Structure 1
Amino acid sequence: MTAELAAPTPPVLTSTTAPATARGPAEVGLTVGVEEEYHVVDATTLEMRDDAALNRAALRGALGASVHAEIATTQLEVATEVCTSLADVRQGLRTVRAQAADAAAGVGATIVAASTHPFASWEQQRLTARPRYLELFEKWALLALQQVICGCHVHVSVPDLDTAVAVMDRARPYLPALLALTGSSPFHEGVDTGYESYRTQWFARWPITGATEPLGDGAAYRRVVEGLRTAGCVDDASNLYWDVRPSERYPTLEYRIGDVCTSLDDAVLHAALARALTRTLAARARAGLPAEEVRPELLRAARWRAARHGLQGSLFDPLRGELVPAPAAVGDLLAMLRDDLEDRGEWDEVQALAGQALARGTSAARQRAVLHRQGDPVAVARMLVDESLRGVR
């Protein structure tokens, strides 16, 4: 449920093709782009806003090339331009957040960059009248109607499908740490769920979410996609909602594990880590190092714990089979990526952003603190609006 990054007639990844266009270079991790989904809320009441005119404008592309309609009429999705530096990512996110906010302001609304709204219900939204979304309803019934969640998707350039799959296979143990840093969905249907990322749990009802088993190569990936198509779960690979997947249209690997980062700094950090992880793991694959073996049950446990506790308490390391304090787990990830980040001149910025995230906690933790302090979910929504647009204008 995502509008892919805007680009002119992009190539489709195959197991042998290595496209090298201006928008899709062959070098692993040379480019990165970010998609974010937002809730549209009334600028005064901060309730979720279903505005038919705004939805129609988004559907026909009248809000600009970067702002799109999403599955729910109360959502907008944005996509940055293809970026080559973290400065590009930051400026790209500033631009698209401002564009979405300006579009919403035209109907007396604004945006919330968080994966759930603090007090809204799915019954306050409608299904966007796009054939793709109507087909999802025909296939998934109530699940499609209840998608009152938003996500963040980071696209990292890869040369071919085999490389994408090699990184997917090796990324699985490290995805929970990425999730823990992004939690922004503590509330659902007006209830404090106790989770930092309840979006992860809500979305898990779909059988095409989560992490895959190791696939080995592009041919195996295609066989799995064909099996899911035969089963009636997907029409094609663009319908997969795995935590990380090859893009069907672009020469990228797409990380879908994260909640929407309310803070612009956290969004830049998330993109930086996804790109560095891709480069590091692709290098390991080229060196002939195998994917690390880890039981799927332990991976699910690690993912659940990251969604439940975020940066508070401990995360489960599925490779060592032990609990690790969240700051130490993030530190371990940074240590693994340090050589790559230093080679690219990104280490100082990423280290500073990670330290800042650990010091102030996730969006979910900040939302919960506002609710406990003020006892008013509207105050939480107000904080989310303010933080979503901080540093944007």
Structure 2
Amino acid sequence: MVSLAEDFTIGVEEEYQIINPVTRELCSRQQQILQIAEKVLGEEVQPEVYLSQIEIGTPVCKTLAEVRAEIVRLRQEVIAAAAKDGNQIAAAGTHSFSSWSEQEITPKERYQGLMRDYQQLTREQMIFGCHVHVGISDPQLALCVMNRARVWLAPLLALAASSPFWMGMDTGYASYRTEIWGRWPISGPPLIFESLAEYQALAEALIATGSVEEATKIYWDARLSERYPTVEFRVTDVCMTVDEAVMVAGLVRALARTCYEQAKIDEPFPAARHEVIRAAHWRAARYGLDTELIDVEAMRAVPAQELLEKFLAFVRPSLEEYGDWDEISSLVQQTMQHGNGATRQREVYKRTERLEDVVDFIVAQTAKGIT
């Protein structure tokens, strides 16, 4: 097995919806599906906050080809386990119409603790994300990567946005999951830290003040993992298709590598104010790829395609070094041409005016390319 301490390895976690194929609503069959899936996947499949959610985590991967193969394998097995239980699996940042009030919290201490501490925020946590871990063994350099990567998180969010509907309504957002998640007290874009000691002191202060129970509950969009020697990127909705998940993983790894190399030679980077970064994230969540995004470095609004081309140019040397440029640049162009998950869901609803059809579309997209 690849060492967790090896630099620039990749691990991907995806949170899925469990769908009743008749009503298309979320259904609380996590424990039954876990019993089936664990026989094949072991700890690669896990519970999540709600009993209508299930999470997978890939093994540590060295290449994007490995990432693709593992996501395909894990989706296949979870979909098969759900089918044996008479249900389906869907990958999107929110469910189109199910109500949070009808969901059951998973009876596990971690999630019950979240319920005790955060109350209504936990009750409404009916959202589904994708987390990408990039191995960086030196924690000081990992922190430098986090500092430098923060200005590029918004275009990642716009590319992967897949949560336009909430409680039966079109929210007007491409990633309404981002807005639900952003209400949590220690969430959203990370700050800039001058040193690892400063980062650790803040974490200790948040724990000492009772703001968080432990450092794993600091939920920034990029953070230093407490469990692994990685930078964990948590900014995007779960991707509907395998292709999109591979695209996000490839971009994240290339971003981390680019920032790492620049940090080693102490190359200057834009130390944008937190307010501007937050505004950039809000705009990416609101509009996705449909209009202008904020170029944080230039401090101006630019067409989404222009910012994505700038992002690709920034990470191109790293993508080329890994042999990933052709695949990732092509997947980004496809997403720009055909729309992110949010755009494609809205197109289905515009045609049929049935949110059940949107759920069917997401189920089909989740299984696309895995057979």
Q: Same fold (TM over 0.5)?
A: yes
Q: Distance in 2 between matches of 1:63 and 1:213?
A: 36
Aligned to 2:276: 298
Gaps of 5+ in 1: 1-6, 8-21
**Residue identity opposite 2:256 in structure 1:** T
Q: Distance in 1 between matches of 2:367 and 2:150?
A: 32
Distance 1:360 1:81, change over 3 A: same
- Shift of residue 204 of structure 1? 0.8
- Which residue of 17, 25, 30 corresponds with 2:5? 25
- TM normalised by structure 2 equals 0.96
Q: Distance in 2 between matches of 1:390 and 1:56?
A: 22
Contact 1:255 1:274 in 2 (8 A): yes
Distance 1:134 1:288, change over 3 A: same
Contact 1:67 1:99 in 2 (8 A): no
- Which residue of 63, 66, 83 corresponds with 2:61? 83
Residue by residue over 1:320-354, the C-alpha shift from the partner in whole angstroms, topping out at 9 and shown as x without a partner, is: 11111111111000001111111221111111111
Aligned to 1:287: 265
- Which residue of 148, 152, 157 corresponds with 1:179? 157
Aligned to 1:123: 101
Q: Pairwise mapping of residues 358-377 of structure 1 onto structure 2 (< 5 A)?
A: 358-377=336-355
Gaps of 5+ in 2: none
Q: Distance in 2 between matches of 1:52 and 1:129?
A: 11
DSSP 3-state at the match of 1:234: coil
Distance 1:87 1:60, change over 3 A: closer
Runs of 4+ off more than 4 Å = 58-63
Aligned to 1:341: 319
**Residue identity opposite 1:262 in structure 2:** M
Q: Distance in 2 between matches of 1:329 and 1:111?
A: 33
Residue by residue over 1:94-145, the C-alpha shift from the partner in whole angstroms, topping out at 9 and shown as x without a partner, is: 0111121122112211111001011111012111011111111111112112
Contact 2:94 2:128 in 1 (8 A): yes
**1:69 equivalent in alignment to 2:47:** yes
Contact 1:50 1:124 in 2 (8 A): no
- TM normalised by structure 1 equals 0.91
DSSP 3-state at the match of 1:206: coil
DSSP 3-state at the match of 2:42: coil
Aligned residues: 371
- Shift of residue 217 of structure 1? 2.0
Q: Distance in 2 between matches of 1:156 and 1:265?
A: 19
Residue by residue over 1:131-166, the C-alpha shift from the partner in whole angstroms, topping out at 9 and shown as x without a partner, is: 111111111112112110010000000012211111
**Residue identity opposite 2:45 in structure 1:** V
Contact 1:63 1:103 in 2 (8 A): no
Contact 1:58 1:68 in 2 (8 A): no
Q: Percent same amino acid among aligned pairs?
A: 41
Contact 1:294 1:319 in 2 (8 A): yes
Residue by residue over 1:18-69, the C-alpha shift from the partner in whole angstroms, topping out at 9 and shown as x without a partner, is: xxxx422343x1x101000001001232111112652673898886331111
Contact 1:118 1:380 in 2 (8 A): yes
Aligned to 1:100: 78
Aligned to 2:304: 326
DSSP 3-state at the match of 2:69: helix
- Shift of residue 251 of structure 1? 1.0
Q: Distance in 2 between matches of 1:224 and 1:25?
A: 25
Aligned-pair Cα RMSD in Å: 1.7
**Residue identity opposite 1:269 in structure 2:** M
Aligned to 1:153: 131
**1:142 equivalent in alignment to 2:120:** yes
Contact 2:34 2:46 in 1 (8 A): no
Contact 1:119 1:189 in 2 (8 A): yes
**1:391 equivalent in alignment to 2:369:** yes
Q: Distance in 2 between matches of 1:63 and 1:353?
A: 28
Distance 1:44 1:226, change over 3 A: same
Q: Distance in 2 between matches of 1:137 and 1:61?
A: 30
Distance 1:85 1:374, change over 3 A: same
Q: Distance in 2 between matches of 1:213 and 1:53?
A: 37
**Residue identity opposite 1:24 in structure 2:** L
